[in-house]
Amino acid sequence: MTIAIKYGYLDDEPVVDEQGRFIGGGGGAALVERLFKIYPGAVMVGDRDRQCQGFEMRRLGSLDARRDLVVNLDVLDSVGVFQILHRHGAEPRILNLQWLPPSHYHHKVNFAAMGLSFALFPTLCSGERTAGEVSEIVRRWTISPLAHQARVAWFQPGIRSDLLKAHRDPEVPVVLYPAIRLSDAKQPKTFLRIVKQVADKVPLRMEGRLVQRDLASVLAMKMSAPRWAKLSPLFGDREEYWESLARTTAFVATAREEAYGLEYLEALLAGAVGIFPHLPWAAGLVPAFYPYLYATEDQAAEMLTEVLSDPDAARRAADESAGGSLSDWIVEHHTRAVGNDAIRTQISEWFPEVG
């Protein structure tokens, strides 16, 4: 059996360049790279059959519905994938990998499409909160006979620490915009208002890395207008990404909801001090008595001012909340290996032939 990973069809940005390099960014792309490591020999579903750098790309029509398993990160079109693979009568093997919270979408057509997809094909979710949303979508948007057959499971994604670099504070503190998109759910305008308050009192540099579409937006131009702000394209490789995190002083999270929060955990692990909204998704990422959870924008600005004024003291406070070392706490509670085992175990439970 071949594992065929499908990702990127619902995004404007290419995930493989003309040289055959995988160039996707963000949480979905990180999961794709992870699946390639868990399943050596996996292929990527694409627009043509070709040999890429380190993996093979195949069209859906080139897959064997009797033997291959499609792991679909674009769950909205799983029914369409079924139709293509089913055209000769074989029963396709399709697994939804829901890495975004369903609330990322807003239109009733999307909710109906997701409900049907979740009900018809087993769905593995990135995080318990996402699994809860998936189950609710099935209940609300799918007819009862289908809803009762839904199979939903979740895994704790975890993070990798092998590329971690030694932290070093820059002369002028760096505040990170901790997302690659400027979607409403991330609330970038709230982020900008908070940072502007602090920039009037404390020297700082704001940095962010965005997908190309968002980088060319009016909002991105507005965010990068202050002399202390800079937005750039996504990094070309993971080494460069971790080098940048190693010189980041702090970040301010403003998202209403997150499926997991991989970017935040990586920044914390690299030594940046995170300032989070006092919301359930954020509280689940850090120790119980983590000191930088805010209720209002003004409170967030006060916390950021405190952190930038004395980053070492802020890190000590974060470490104390973890009982010694926040980095050690993150590695212990968000272990990547456990997540890999959970992915492998669940897929083999639903599809024993995978092994």
Q: DSSP E strands: which ranges in the chain? A: 3-6, 43-45, 50-51, 56-58, 69-72, 93-98, 123-126, 152-155, 174-176, 205-210, 229-233, 250-252, 273-277, 293-294
169 occurs within a structural domain: no
**Residues 108, 86: one domain?**
yes
**Beta bridge partner(s), residue 45:** 58
Torsion of CA 102, 106, 107, 110, to 10 degrees: -20
> Please, which pLDDT band fits residue 334 given cuts at 50, 70 and 90?
confident
**Residues 348, 318: one domain?**
no
Q: Which of the residue ranges 134-143, 155-164, 188-197 would you say has the lowest mean pLDDT?
A: 155-164
Residue 74 · residue 10 · CB < 8 Å: yes
Q: Domain count for the chain, please give it.
A: 2
> Please, which pLDDT band fits residue 27 given cuts at 50, 70 and 90?
confident
> Please, which pLDDT band fits residue 312 given cuts at 50, 70 and 90?
very high
Total-model pTM: 0.71
Rounded mean pLDDT, 295-302: 98
Closest CA relative to residue 4, chosen from 61, 87, 76, 53: 61
**Residues 150, 278: one domain?**
no
Asked if pLDDT for residue 284 goes beyond 90, the answer is no
**Residues 14, 146: one domain?**
yes
132 occurs within a structural domain: yes
25 occurs within a structural domain: yes
Q: DSSP E strands: which ranges in 119-272? A: 123-126, 152-155, 174-176, 205-210, 229-233, 250-252
151 occurs within a structural domain: yes
pLDDT at 68: 96
**Residues 109, 15: one domain?**
yes
**Beta bridge partner(s), residue 4:** 43, 70
Domain extent for 7: 3-157+336-354
Residue 113 · residue 76 · CB < 8 Å: yes
Other Cβ atoms less than 10 A from the Cβ of 74: the count is 19
Torsion of CA 305, 307, 308, 313, to 10 degrees: 140
**Residues 114, 223: one domain?**
no
232 occurs within a structural domain: yes
Distance between CA 265 and CA 285 in Å, rounded? 7
Asked if pLDDT for residue 135 goes beyond 70, the answer is yes
Torsion of CA 209, 185, 293, 130, to 10 degrees: -100
Asked if pLDDT for residue 355 goes beyond 70, the answer is no
**Beta bridge partner(s), residue 43:** 4, 56
165 occurs within a structural domain: no
Distance between CA 131 and CA 137 in Å, rounded? 10
**Residues 239, 308: one domain?**
yes
Distance between CA 254 and CA 307 in Å, rounded? 17
The two tokens of residue 265 are 């955990």
Closest CA relative to residue 103, chosen from 73, 133, 74: 133
The CATH number of the domain where 101 resides is what?
A: 3.40.50
**Residues 195, 310: one domain?**
yes
Most confident of 105-109, 297-301, 323-327: 297-301
Distance between CA 351 and CA 349 in Å, rounded? 6
**Beta bridge partner(s), residue 123:** 96, 152
Compute the chain's Rg from CA coordinates.
21
325 occurs within a structural domain: yes
**Residues 41, 130: one domain?**
yes
pLDDT digits (tens, 9 = 90+) for 36-54: 999 999 999 999 999 999 9
Distance between CA 298 and CA 296 in Å, rounded? 5
pLDDT digits (tens, 9 = 90+) for 70-124: 999 999 999 999 999 999 899 999 999 998 888 878 899 999 999 999 999 999 9
**Residues 198, 313: one domain?**
yes
The CATH number of the domain where 185 resides is what?
A: 3.40.50.2000
Asked if pLDDT for residue 268 goes beyond 80, the answer is yes
163 occurs within a structural domain: no
**Residues 226, 98: one domain?**
no
Backbone angles phi, psi at 268, to 5 degrees: -60, -45
pLDDT at 163: 79
**Residues 88, 189: one domain?**
no
The two tokens of residue 320 are 């104390």
pLDDT at 128: 85
Q: By CB neighbour count within 10 A (0-12 exposed, 13-18 middle, 19+ buried), where does 12 fall?
A: exposed
Q: Which of the residue ranges 85-99, 215-229, 234-248, 316-330 would you say has the lowest mean pLDDT?
A: 234-248
Residues with Cβ within 8 Å of 70's Cβ and at least 6 positions away in sequence, in order, are 4, 6, 45, 60, 63, 81, 85, 92, 93, 94, 95
DSSP state of 48: S
> Please, which pLDDT band fits residue 296 given cuts at 50, 70 and 90?
very high
Distance between CA 349 and CA 355 in Å, rounded? 9
